[in-house]
Structure 1
Amino acid sequence: MRKLLLVLFLYSAFTSTATFAAEPGAKALVERGLSAYLTGGPDAAIKAWLKGSGMEGNTQALTQANSLRQIEDFYGKPESYDIVKENIISPRSEMIVFSINHVKGIVFGRFQVYRVKSGEWVATEFKFHTEAAALLPSEMVFGK
């Protein structure tokens, strides 16, 4: 009987994990917006990042596009991006840190993402800054 219960428990744990694993990950959400930024500009990026989130359609959240435009005024257009770090905060939340490489400088970004019950990842908070020390944990910027 114990073996049967153990087998059932392991099977259910495996299948529930596999269900979540089939969904695109948190990193995919961030990369979708970054790709939209490179090809369609700040508005396309913000809309991609906010899709399905509680912030979707919020005019204040959409003003983040203005921040990206202001950065472009100094650094030029974005050319590429790098995912710097992914950190699991809880079973349904992650923090993704990335950089956006512009013609004349770099911008750092930080996303907090959440997996809703359907398995889809949505943004719950994000920030951009041209100064790494203003946005990233000190260990990432200065080392240990």
Structure 2
Amino acid sequence: MEQRISLVTLGVHELAASTAFFEGLGWRRSMRQTEGIAFFQCGCMALALWPWTRLAEDAGVSPERSGAGGWALAYNARTREEVDAVLARAAVLGAAITKPAADVFWGGYSGYFRDLDGHLWEVAWNPGFALDASGALTLPD
């Protein structure tokens, strides 16, 4: 696993209000055509706003705030095989797999684990999110 974080997903109560808040701060939304989630390019990382109940469902954890925590860190892998390898390595190191890797509704492949402190991590391969040689994620316009 390369030493980087690709995407921070914040679970939000009201997507439209949260999106308007960040836009009000001067942040430029990327991928505006995408419905049900908002993305913002943040240097070499990206921020996603997603309804927290959907985040919990996707991660296979309780929708209670104590279960999903309202956020997840994401590591974007270069291949589907890397997703499997990272999840396997995390499990060996003591992580709890909350959702085994599988094809997902947005066209990629992902799974989730909780690290030793309970932080939720998604490991994903997304054919629509390009990674450069350094691993930096660049969102399409």
Normalised to the residue count of structure 2, the TM-score between the two structures is: 0.28
The structure with the greater share of residues assigned to helix is: 1
Larger relative CO (CA 8 A, sep 6+): 1 or 2?
A: 2
Question: TM-score, normalised on structure 1?
Answer: 0.28
